[in-house]
Amino acid sequence: MAEVYTGRFAPSPTGLLHAGSLVAALASWLDARSHGGQWLLRIEDVDTPRCVPGAAQAIMQQLAACGLEPDGPVLWQSQRGDAYAAALQTLVNQGWAYPCGCSRKEIESAQTVARHSATVYPGTCRHGLNGKPARAWRLNVQAVQKALGLPAVTHWHDRRLGPQQQNVAQEVGDFVLRRADGLWAYQLAVVVDDAAQGVTHVVRGEDLVDNTARQIVLQHALGLPTHQYLHTPLVLGANGEKLSKQNGAMALDLSDPMAAIEQAAQVLGLSTPSTRHNFLAQAQASWARAFISRPG
């Protein structure tokens, strides 16, 4: 039996959608429709201190105004703590997750001594806390890879960018599953939730490419299926940096929703129809030609 396509869009309600987030939303919607699959919505509100009251509802209204409505109930990460705790306990029981007592300053000092990159956790607490109180929980990447016979270098294929690879242990280190402030880390939450929603294809912004190898390792560790990935081009601000809420991206102007959709389609390299009549259907056909291989 052929796999049933399930895609998703997973915004964080730290503000309203902007031009960059609409590109990811449109791409994921078009990919789901082009595959004859379903498109789901997940509100990634696990980082509660950064969430803006009312933003989630406003985001759903923005999507609806653009004709992008989910095919099932919305999943809220803030209601998923028990599922994340169960996943962490599974990893602890296997001996693949450990408590970390390091402060950020201690990690930076250890990185300097070990001559590690500033992005790599040096494994300070891997074999014990040495009297420090536990702060965060981390995945023992090399232990997972050794136990499951996984290669040190994780390879995957991005449907837009082509072959990708990362040595998670060397380039990232043992990454956080639960943060020192008690909040669940993005990597664990997204892997658990994708599995719960039956996601088969992940379409998201290119800024998240670097997360993919970590998530694949974690999928293996939890015995969950891996996905097909496609990372969309980023919308850049006037300063050449990724357009984001953090650098002051303006909320979408939806006085003319179709104009916003047209601009997002152009970023994706899709041919823009000469007429707005049935625009989304025409964009879907253009997406299928660009990103979905045909038999033979």
Residue 240 to residues 9, 146, 243, 251, Cα–Cα distance (Å):
25, 41, 8, 18
234 within domain boundaries: yes
Residue 143: its pLDDT value, please? 98
56 within domain boundaries: yes
| 294 pLDDT above the threshold of 50 | no
202 within domain boundaries: no
68 within domain boundaries: yes
| 77 pLDDT above the threshold of 50 | yes
28 within domain boundaries: yes
| 247 pLDDT above the threshold of 70 | no
Q: Which residues contact 201 (CB under 8 A, 6 or more apart)?
A: 5, 6, 7, 31, 32, 35, 37, 227, 228, 229, 230
- Specify the number of domains making up the chain: 1
In the block, which residue shows the tokens 């964009």? 283
Residue 296: its pLDDT value, please? 35
Residue 69 belongs to domain spanning: 6-79+228-291
151 within domain boundaries: no
Crossing angle between the packed helical segments 279-291 and 19-34, to the nearest 10 degrees: 80
| Mean pLDDT on 109-113 | 67
pLDDT category at 118 given cuts 50, 70, 90 is low
Rounded distance, CA 221 to CA 224, Å? Answer: 8
Per-residue pLDDT tens over the stretch 208-244: 999 999 999 999 999 999 999 999 998 866 555 565 5
Rounded distance, CA 282 to CA 272, Å? Answer: 8
275 within domain boundaries: yes
Residue 82: its pLDDT value, please? 98
Query: Position 260: which residue type?
Result: A
69 within domain boundaries: yes
pLDDT category at 137 given cuts 50, 70, 90 is very high
| 51 pLDDT above the threshold of 70 | yes
| Domain containing residue 259: CATH number | 3.40.50.620
Helices (H), the chain: 19-34, 55-65, 81-93, 104-114, 141-148, 168-171, 186-196, 212-221, 257-267, 279-291
